[in-house]
Structure 1
Amino acid sequence: MKLAVVGFGNAGGKVLDELLAFEDDTGRAMVSAALAINSAKVDLARLERVPDSYRVLVGQADGRVKGHGVGSDPDLGASITEADMHEIDRALDQVPLYEIDAFLVIAGLGGGTGSGGAPKLTKHLREIYEEPVYGLGILPSEDEGGRAALNAARSLRSFTEAASNLILFDNAAWRGGSDSIESGYDRTNREMVTRLATLLSAGEVDGSTLSENAMDASDIRRTLATGGVSSIAYAEARLEAETRRQQGLLGSLRSNQAGNGADGATKVSGLIRQAVQSRLTCSADVSSVERSLIVLSGPPGEFSRKGLESGRRWLEEETGSVEVLAGDDPRRNADRLSVAILLSNPTRVPRLEQIQQQAVAAQDRIEEQSRDRDQAIRTLITDDGDRLDPL
């Protein structure tokens, strides 16, 4: 699938940068155009991979912003995005629409610029372009506090309604307790783009081997056509050095025979089960998923059609849905066999309920503080008998 990718806000820009780095490292070619949008000059300047002409600073003319960010205020983020939509459209004019299958808008939902602006941009794109507009929404971890949860809960509703489908990544499930802030986000960003790129770059003509059973953009679009939210499952198995050495043409032919045997089938079907039963990008009840798509990626000699079909049948049973597609994405020089599984429109996602509860509690505290603020200030600056007159 060829994508025009927009990184909105600080988190969105960093994930976009990491996605471009991952493509360079792996030889994939999924991103046809990359656009970074932010309200803070310093965050745009830190990006390493996005060309300068594809970086858009919004809110420069707003006296509350002036290139310094929106201070975690999603309403302000939405307002400046609407006001500067013409600047964003000017940057989008450079996008080769004839090459892309869809847009992807990436944003962290706990801050202000991305959580407020990404839903506005997504709605705008869907109104003027025929291509689907998907979102990647990054949920804040619990230790980011009530304000982040409130921003995320509000943005999630708008983003989901605006997008053709919103893929979720939950920082709460992926940040390690021993991680520093910076190293933690760097690691989770890499985990995120590994899953995203393995899934969405399937079927592209980027120097990889073509396959009779390959996935293509139409399969991905059909799976995401449910609307709602989605999660991605992933598992991988590193290959032995000898297996990698035999990845030349003749070696692939020999290993292909082994890959289609009982061991190869067990390996592939086991990876599919491992992926679904491991940590998802956002935890969800798999039995509530409407549609699924399995992408097996790696050296073609390691593929097993029997194992792929066995895994597909198992996933049908787990989801209770016959809407399960399965195919492969041959990568002859890959050093691992991996499987990425798109789980589309789960209707039971406990983490979202948790965020909503945290957000309601935060909103109640904010409203209470607002009601008491004026009286508290007056009490603070007034003498006990209120005998002193202000100047």
Structure 2
Amino acid sequence: MNLAVIGFGNAGGKIVDKLLEFERDTGRSLWRFALAVNSAEIDLERLEYVPRDHQILIGQTDQRVKGRGAGADPEVGASVAERDSHEIERALDGVPIHDIDGFLLVAGLGGGTGSGGAPVFGETLDELYEEPVYGLGVLPSADEGGRAAFNAARSLPSFTEATENLLLFDNDTWRKHGETVERGYDRTNWEIARRVVTLLAAGEIDGSRVSEAAMDSSDVKRTLSTGGVSTVAYASEELESSTKEEKGLLSRFTDGDQSNGEHADTTMKVHGLVRKAVQSRMTCPADLSSAERSLIVVSGPPEEVSQKGIRRARRWLEEETGSVEVLAGDDPREYADTLSVAVLLSNVTSVPRIDRLQDQGVEAKQNIEQQSATREDEISDLITDDGNELDPI
């Protein structure tokens, strides 16, 4: 797919930055336009790959913001996104509409600017353009506190409604014990980039070999057209240089066609990687059988990509999901050092993490209301003498 990607808020901007870095490092061709939108100037300063003239600071005239952020308040984030939407729209004049398949709107859902502003701007994009608007939302980890859970639980239905399909990434699933916050976010953003780029860049013409079974953007768009929320599974395996050289030499004589003598090990390797991907950590854990549609992308050196293995993996996933709506194809990468698999599970409806998040959000809401109800009395008790004998000046 060819996409215009927009990061909203601190997490959204950092993820877009990482997407651009990963695309550059792997020689992919996916992003036709990139934009970062934030209400905090200091967060924009940290970006390395989003061009400076594609960084938009919103809320500068809002007395609550003034370039210092939305203060983890999604109401403020939504307000400034709506008020300054014309500035963002002007920046989108540079989008090559004739050359994109859609938009990808990225945001963390636990803060203020992203959780409040991304759903608002998603609706704006939908009104302005005919191209689909996809979302990538990051759920906060439990240690980010009740306020973050409350924000995410409120933002999730709005963001889902404002996009064609919302890919979810759960920080709670990807936390590592003892890891610093900064290191943790940098690592998880790289994991997001690896999965999203591997999945969405499949089938694009970027100098890599194109096979007869290559995945293309229409396959990805069809799988994402279900609406709802989705998750991505991923697995990879390092390739030994001697194995690559041997099979690469063989492919020159066979013109890359292994149909008459395809190695059993490549068949099992591809099939095994697909099973490993969906049985290990998804971007947001979900029940396989609840997916409406699925898509498998196998990426790596052509001689390592077994078509028989892909067919076998597709049949296995059909059985696991109970759906015949499973597409599968390859994305040949002649000089790749790894064989990787990305599996998109679209419109999953059994997601335990969302249930827990909603419970956390309700509990946080009740705590906030209870604290608000008693706060005025507590303040009064603090500043007034016990006998109420002193008159204020």
TM-score by length of 1: 0.98
Shift in Å, 1:246: 4.7
- Aligned match of 2:328: 326
- Aligned match of 1:257: 258
Q: In structure 2, how many angstroms separate the alpha carbons of the residues matched to 1:110 and 1:150?
A: 8
Deviates more, 1:33-42 or 1:259-268: 259-268
**Aligned-CA RMSD value:** 1.3
Q: Which consecutive aligned stretches of 4+ in structure 1 deviate over 4 angstroms post-superposition?
A: 246-256
Q: In structure 1, how many angstroms separate the alpha carbons of the residues matched to 2:380 and 2:245?
A: 77
- Aligned match of 2:177: 177
Which of the numbers 336, 339, 342 marks the counterpart of 1:340? 342
Q: Deviations over 1:171-215 (max 9, x none)?
A: 000010121111111111111110000000000001111111011
Q: In structure 2, how many angstroms separate the alpha carbons of the residues matched to 1:36 and 1:122?
A: 14
2:82 paired with 1:82: yes
Q: Deviations over 1:350-389 (max 9, x none)?
A: 0000000011000000000111111111111111111111
Amino acid at match of 1:275: A
Which of the numbers 366, 369, 372 marks the counterpart of 2:368? 366
- Aligned match of 2:150: 150
Amino acid at match of 2:269: K
- Aligned match of 1:65: 65
CA contact (8 A) 2:289 2:321 kept: yes
Which of the numbers 289, 292, 297 marks the counterpart of 1:290? 292
SS state of the match for residue 270, structure 1? helix
Shift in Å, 1:245: 3.2
Q: Deviations over 1:313-366 (max 9, x none)?
A: 000000000000000000001001111000001110000000000110000000
Q: How many residues align?
A: 391
CA contact (8 A) 1:247 1:333 kept: no
Shift in Å, 1:243: 2.6
Deviates more, 1:264-273 or 1:314-323: 264-273
Shift in Å, 1:261: 2.5
Go from structure 1 to structure 2 and tell me whether the alpha carbon gap of 1:335 and 1:252 turns closer, same or farther (over 3 Å shift). farther
Shift in Å, 1:10: 0.5
Go from structure 1 to structure 2 and tell me whether the alpha carbon gap of 1:183 and 1:321 turns closer, same or farther (over 3 Å shift). same
Q: In structure 2, how many angstroms separate the alpha carbons of the residues matched to 1:156 and 1:244?
A: 44
User: Equivalent residues in 2 for 1:235-314 (5 A)?
Assistant: 235-246=235-246, 251=251, 253=253, 257=258, 260-314=262-316
CA contact (8 A) 1:246 1:252 kept: no
TM-score by length of 2: 0.97
- Aligned match of 2:212: 212
Q: Between the two proteins, what is the percent identity of the paired residues?
A: 63
- Aligned match of 2:133: 133
Q: In structure 1, how many angstroms separate the alpha carbons of the residues matched to 2:8 and 2:211?
A: 35
SS state of the match for residue 258, structure 2? helix
Amino acid at match of 1:2: N
Q: In structure 1, how many angstroms separate the alpha carbons of the residues matched to 2:15 and 2:253?
A: 37
Q: In structure 2, how many angstroms separate the alpha carbons of the residues matched to 1:182 and 1:252?
A: 46
Shift in Å, 1:247: 6.9
- Aligned match of 2:36: 36
- Aligned match of 1:350: 352
Amino acid at match of 1:280: M
CA contact (8 A) 2:238 2:337 kept: yes
Go from structure 1 to structure 2 and tell me whether the alpha carbon gap of 1:233 and 1:252 turns closer, same or farther (over 3 Å shift). farther
CA contact (8 A) 1:253 1:301 kept: no
Amino acid at match of 1:261: H
Shift in Å, 1:257: 3.3
SS state of the match for residue 268, structure 1? helix
CA contact (8 A) 1:256 1:300 kept: no
- Aligned match of 2:392: 390
Q: In structure 1, how many angstroms separate the alpha carbons of the residues matched to 2:5 and 2:54?
A: 11
Q: In structure 2, how many angstroms separate the alpha carbons of the residues matched to 1:132 and 1:344?
A: 15
CA contact (8 A) 2:248 2:303 kept: no
CA contact (8 A) 1:294 1:339 kept: yes
CA contact (8 A) 2:2 2:30 kept: yes
